[in-house]
Structure 1
Amino acid sequence: MRAAPALRPVCTLTVELSPVRELGRGRAGKKRIIPITGGRVEGPELAGTILGVGADWQTVYDNGCAWLDARYAFETPDGALIEVVNQGYRHGPPEVLARLAEGEPVDPEEYYMRTSARLETGDPRYDWVNCTLFLGSGTRLPSAVEIALFAVT
């Protein structure tokens, strides 16, 4: 059997958010949209500015678990545009999720927020992102989300 894949730190995405827009109950749970207004990308392999062109389309199930489906883009300092599709789950004890919903700062060790990200670009300088799997570990801040992104090696 092969060894388990390793994770290589790539960057931290600090994604700035507008207030939550509640859509109401859908087929699978409570639906909401959180517009993405900007942010930054900082790290050893990727850096840039997050563009205000996306949103996180969430479904919150009856058990409190949220399916995250964020789509946005960033521009690197050398002008490349990179699309991000970041999907995953956030869940935890009801009292912790209530504090997050109120915008309170909560230690990320008190809840689970993990994602898988697909990055894509047409810029040949960053072609490696088109064929790399990425995993993220997230933190919900009062008006932003911070995702530590790792390449699966």
Structure 2
Amino acid sequence: MTISLSHVTDLVVQLSRPQEMGDCPAGTRRIIPIVGGTATGPLLTGRILPIGADWQTVTADGIADLDARYAIETAEGAVIEVVSKGIRHASAEVHARIAAGEEVDPREYYMRSAIRLESGHPEYRWVNRALFIAHGGKVANTVHLSVYRVD
């Protein structure tokens, strides 16, 4: 059996200033509010609602554990919950460029997420029956993700 991927949407997730929690037992913690954005693609288009956050933990060796939860609203009025768990790692030099707001080619670092989507809207119940993966990168105060359904 082979696994294939179907492109679902491209997300541009807008972030506001992180709330730094400092050095905690698991690593350096921060909460990054999600304040809007867009979803544009062949199977899912809409706007990212200004609710949610990425609860990030950065380990001593520089791996960012990403744990985001937010929602997309489609033109049909469907609200789709997004639960995204992933990792990002980069060299110290690339991380500094990203932190400075520079647009860094995502091929220069690793950022991947496993995503679950959920909706009660009749036209979008298909999202409840699939797993999704995403790759992308951070650009200034946004995160860009290309989302694929695992078929």
TM-score normalised to structure 1 length: 0.96
Q: Does 1:139 align with 2:137?
A: yes
Shift of 1:92: 1.3
- CA distance in 2: counterparts of 1:136 and 1:128, whole angstroms: 18
Aligned to 1:61: 59
Shift of 1:25: 1.1
User: Map of 1:1-153 to 2, 5 A cutoff?
Assistant: 2-3=1-2, 5-153=3-151
| AA aligned opposite 1:104 | E
Give the 3-state SS of the residue equivalent to 2:50 in structure 1.
coil
| AA aligned opposite 2:125 | D
- CA distance in 1: counterparts of 2:95 and 2:64, whole angstroms: 10
Stretches of structure 2 lacking an aligned partner (at least 5 in a row): none
| AA aligned opposite 2:38 | R
- CA distance in 2: counterparts of 1:21 and 1:95, whole angstroms: 23
- CA distance in 1: counterparts of 2:51 and 2:29, whole angstroms: 20
| RMSD (Å) for aligned C-alpha atoms | 0.7
TM-score normalised to structure 2 length: 0.98
Shift of 1:133: 0.6
Stretches of structure 1 lacking an aligned partner (at least 5 in a row): none
Identity %: 52
Deviations 1:68-93 (A, max 9, x none): 00100010011000000011000011
Higher strand content, 1 or 2: 2
List 4+ stretches of structure 1 deviating above 2 A. Answer: none
